Chains A and B, each alone.
Chain A
Amino acid sequence: MTSLPLVVAAGQGPFEAFAVGLHHYIFLSALLFVVGFFGVLLRKNALVIFMSLELMLIAATLGFVAFSRYNGTMDGNVFVFFILTVAAVEVAVGLAIIVALFRHRRTVMVDELNHLKN
């Protein structure tokens, strides 16, 4: 009677599906993107919508780094630099707009900001 081996080499044996590879990172990235996407879709608070946008950016970043690691190229890692910079710029300008909006309208709920309608 053979007992289960305590240590299973990666890529074989019953734990093959759990050995972390590129698939796992891409799936995690997709999952994060979905969470951020539904945050943008369903929330009314402009600040929370903004945070969900950041989550989606982070998800894209994670995909870039994972592909870069598993393909042995540098380009994905360098792209993350630019994503980080653009995200910082976006947050600065977006929050300034939200604060300016709040000064004029006293609200940041997007369904009350319908003054351009009709």
Chain B
Amino acid sequence: MADLFFYLFSALTVGSALGVVLSRNTVGAALCLLLSLLGTAGLFVLLNAYLLAVLLVLVYAGAVAALFVFVVMLLDMQGGVKQPVKMFTVVASVGALALLLTGLARTFGPGQWPAPPPAVDPALGASLKLYGYQLFTTYLLPVQIVGFLLLAAMLGVIVLSRRHTGSEDAK
């Protein structure tokens, strides 16, 4: 049953990821991103990381995808002249695809890996207490740094989105 859900969620995730990349419409791409995030949250639930699933939906689907849709609304893009993909880009893409396929075949080919480890029980990701313990002992310094990063980003966004009236035009 869980296996069935795995295939369902992974099809949803990869399918809507393809939708993000292939969609001509930017709003459609943003909504596909939202769907892809929901599929990933489902996979997190299957991996017993319930808190991360909730956080993913809250932070990503709630804030990030909404921000994308909002910016698409602000920018009012009307396409413009569609330029063909450059030859160099095509060559680079084919080369990258060949490298990636080789890597995947080497990694997942028969006999490359030992037998996969079974899932460890009890699942550590399900326990809220462990998250708190880890965040306030082992990872205390990264938590502080991330806090400062958020502060810096907030100030940066405020400065970036301020209207430059004098200094820009004087140049």
Contact = CB atoms under 8 A, between A and B. Distances in A.
A9 interface: no
Contacts of B150: 85, 89
Contacts of B85: 42
A24 B6 contact: yes
A55 B36 contact: yes
A80 B26 contact: no
Interface residues of B, number: 75
Contacts, number: 205
A21 B161 contact: no
Given A51-B33, A72-B124, A99-B71, A43 B160 contact: no
Interface in B1-40: 2-3, 6-7, 10, 13-14, 17-18, 20-21, 23, 26, 29-30, 33, 36-37, 40
B170 interface: no
A79 to B, nearest CB: 9
Interface of B: 2-3, 6-7, 10, 13-14, 17-18, 20-21, 23, 26, 29-30, 33, 36-37, 40, 43-44, 47-49, 52, 55-56, 59-60, 63-64, 67-68, 71-72, 74-75, 77, 80, 83, 85, 89, 92-93, 96-97, 100, 104, 107-108, 113, 116-120, 123-125, 130-131, 134-135, 138-139, 142, 146, 149-150, 153-154, 156-157, 160-161
Interface of A: 18-28, 30-32, 34-39, 41-45, 47-48, 50-52, 54-55, 58, 61-62, 65-66, 68-75, 77-78, 80-82, 84-89, 91-93, 95-100, 102, 107-109, 111-112
